[in-house]
Chain A
Amino acid sequence: DQQVKQNSPSLSVQEGRISILNCDYTNSMFDYFLWYKKYPAEGPTFLISISSIKDKNEDGRFTVFLNKSAKHLSLHIVPSQPGDSAVYFCAARTLTADKLIFGTGTRLQVFP
């Protein structure tokens, strides 16, 4: 039973356009959410995070939105660049646990 779900295994976007990656979760006790990016043959790297007390966090071209009532978060990348092509993992944690629960990942391809 996946507590963090990324239902789109892949996404293809043209350079310069917006990329929207989605993540759903089932555990209402999750209070902190993160996005990690992974290039081939490398480990995931931290990208951006958001606390459950916020509904939006922005860092340059990357913005994460959180909708607690829908148990849904999304990562927006605008404008998308070819270097953004990677696998993106959504992750979540509860206040009492020292561990992250990851989704299955979404492969983003940005084409010229």
Chain B
Amino acid sequence: AQSVTQPDIHITVSEGASLELRCNYSYGATPYLFWYVQSPGQGLQLLLKYFSGDTLVQGIKGFEAEFKRSQSSFNLRKPSVHWSDAAEYFCAVGALSGGYQKVTFGIGTKLQVIP
């Protein structure tokens, strides 16, 4: 069965600083990998996804993520954080199971941005 680990529950960064959110996954084959963002009391929005090809993936809002098969990681990065990036971030892994795309989410990392 697939699983996702987000080791950091809370992260605080200063506005303008760089950001890296960690994500490790467990799955036997090449997975589909996602990062979603959630503002308080809202649904989730897709930031970026990886299926194959270039291991460095660009997403919306200036985010990028790098797939590293050897480390089973898919860390999310942003070079300069804005106050509006404060939210909760979820890493997810998807895999086909009986014709169904099963998506498993990590527990999330809550990002606080300080001035």
Same complex for A and B? Answer: no
